[in-house]
Amino acid sequence: MASSSVARWTIPSPNPYIQRTAPSSSRRRSAAVSCKAKGGGGGSAASAEIAVAAVGLVANPVIGVSLYVLKTTGCGLPPGPGGALGAVEGLSYLVVAGIVAWSVYTKARTGSGLPGGPGGLLGAAEGLSYLSVLAVIVVFGLQFEERGYIPAPLPSDQCFGP
């Protein structure tokens, strides 16, 4: 029986914890997949994904309500008691912008968007964030066309000013 050595080559993977190797022999077409175990701290990434997903799933409806109020009244949400409602609105816009920026960065680096996360919640937050950005572009465009201005992020003479 002749022994043959099998040369292996590595396929780059976007996930640093998975290494794929395949034999170079034309007789064997199957690829072997080996997983490296994560070191201690692997749970922090999952909990960060859950936190981002939860905050994103709360921020997107806030933006939806804000855009509806903007379209119907010409101004965003009122500041509320102590400015709390306005702060939630502003933070929601920042969260959605952050999720979209993270998604674009991940897409450029790995070729795919954010991971789905537990139960697909991060993927849902990502998809809703892209829809929110699209809605912001449309509503801001309509606002500027109909009223000639986009309200400032802080209370001004046009909206909720003194």
pLDDT on residue 21? 57
pTM: 0.69
Q: What is the mean pLDDT of the chain?
A: 79
pLDDT on residue 19? 56
Q: With H, G, I as helix, E, B as strand and everything else as coil, classify residue 44.
A: helix
Mean pLDDT of 134-150: 90
pLDDT on residue 33? 44
The more confident residue out of 15 and 95 is: 95
Q: Could you read off the pLDDT of 27-61 as tens digits, one per residue?
A: 444 444 444 444 444 567 788 888 999 999 999 99
Count CA atoms within 13 Å of residue 142 on its CB side: 13
Q: Could you read off the pLDDT of 96-133 as tens digits, one per residue?
A: 999 999 999 999 999 888 888 888 899 999 999 999 99
Alpha-carbon distances of 19 from 13, 46, 90, 134, rounded to whole Å: 7, 21, 42, 37
- Report the phi/psi class of residue 8: left, alpha or beta, with left for phi > 0 and alpha for psi in -120 to 50: beta
> 156 - beta bridge partners?
160
**Tokens of residue 33, six digits:** 């997949």
The more confident residue out of 17 and 137 is: 137
Q: Could you read off the pLDDT of 56-78 as tens digits, one per residue?
A: 999 999 999 999 999 998 888 88
CB atoms within 10 A of CB 40: 6
pLDDT on residue 162? 62
pLDDT on residue 78? 87
